[in-house]
Every structure is written in structure tokens, then in C-alpha cells.
Amino acid sequence: MTEQEKRVYLLLKAVIYYYHGLDEPERVDLDETSKRLDAAAELKWALEFVAKDYITAFDRARTYLNEVIGDYEKEKRVELIQMVWQSNNLKGYVTEMEATAMIRLAKDWNVEKELVEMVLR
């Protein structure tokens, strides 16, 4: 995984987790993901990105991600949406705010149908 891919992966997780306020299981997941990917610097970058302004973090991340992910193949975009959905299920539920955020991203990335199919499984 490239540095940019690690940034995308961790920013995506962080911004969705912080959308409603970071829970302890989510913090642990971010730390474990960072260790698994050998991406401490990328996690630090993602957390600083969010902390710069929590209120606008999702919209800023959405703009950043759309610029970067626009070049990704559809399979990779679906994989990223699936990762976020599965990560949010670690705590046993997905909030309405998180689901709305994921739907907005899936729509931006042209993978809304795939997200809905995954949710219905």
C-alpha cells in the first residue's frame, strides 16, 4: 500500500468515526489499523486533518477524497466503502449519521448501488 493509499484509508476511517464523536473501540481500531499498515505518520496526518476543524472535517475530507479516489478503479472504491461499513460494525451498530456519511461518499464515488447491496446482505 502506498503512502497516499494509507492516508486515504485512515482518513476515511477517522472522518467517519469522528462524525459522531470517537468511541473507544473506534480509537482502538484506528491504532490497530495504523500498526497493521505500518502507518503511524499517516494516522497522525489523518487525525490532524480532522482536528483542524471538527465541524468541517467531513466536508473537507470528502473534497480531498473525491480528488484522490476519482482515479481509483471501481473495485477499489467499493472496497473502501466496504471497509468503512465493516469498521463501523465493529461496535455492533452503525449510526444514522455514519450511514448518511457513507451514502454520500458512495454516491460521490458512483458505488451507491454496491453499498446498498452490501447493507442488505
Sorting pLDDT into bands at 50, 70 and 90, what band is 96? confident
Length of the chain: 121
Residues 37 and 2 sit within 8 Å (Cβ to Cβ): no
Sorting pLDDT into bands at 50, 70 and 90, what band is 97? confident
Tens of pLDDT, residue by residue over 107-121, are 999 999 999 898 887
Tens of pLDDT, residue by residue over 37-73, are 999 999 999 999 999 998 999 999 999 999 998 789 9
Q: Which residues contact 33 (CB under 8 A, 6 or more apart)?
A: 9, 10, 13, 39, 43
Amino acid letter at 55?
Answer: I
Q: How far is CA 32 from the centre of its chain?
A: 15
Q: What is the mean pLDDT of the chain?
A: 90
Q: What's the whole-number mean pLDDT along residues 82-88?
A: 85
Q: Can you say whether the dihedral through the CA atoms of 74, 78, 79, 81 is positive or negative?
A: positive
